[in-house]
Amino acid sequence: MMTMYITSIITITLSMIVMIIASILSKKSINDREKSSPFECGFDPSSSARLPFSLRFFLIAVIFLIFDVEIALLLPIIIIMHWSNIIMWSIISIFFLLILLIGLFHEWNQGALEWAN
């Protein structure tokens, strides 16, 4: 039991020492405007690098990724049909498709699929 305490104290001490050394060595000593600005082919940037991002585009992209993964989950259902009970396969497939359709209708009713207002 005592060796477990000693091992945990040594582990915590070593990790704290590594974190302190890393934070000391990672500090920038000189803040240079050229080094902190975005790089654009060696020239000064022609416009601000902080452009506003469309939240609508982000939401559409996330919805696309979710439904893309769900389609990837649908593909093996066809292959599994040959090795499984047809009644259980039908119930599970219909249940999964029903969940997908309910999600799609919910997104549609919330207006998340409309690009412009």
Which residues face 43 on adjacent strands? 40
| Domain boundaries of the chain, sorted by first residue | 55-110
What percent of the chain clears pLDDT 90, i.e. is strictly above it? 20
CB 63 within 8 Å of CB 107: yes
If one counts every other C-beta atom within 10 angstroms of the C-beta of residue 20, the result is: 10
Other residues' Cβ atoms within 10 Å of the Cβ of residue 96: 14
Question: What does the pLDDT look like over 54-69, one tens digit per residue?
Answer: 777 888 888 888 888 8
Whether the model pTM is above 0.75: no
**In the structure, what pLDDT confidence band is assigned to residue 117 with cuts at 50, 70 and 90?**
low
Helix axes 86-110, 55-80, angle to 10 degrees: 170
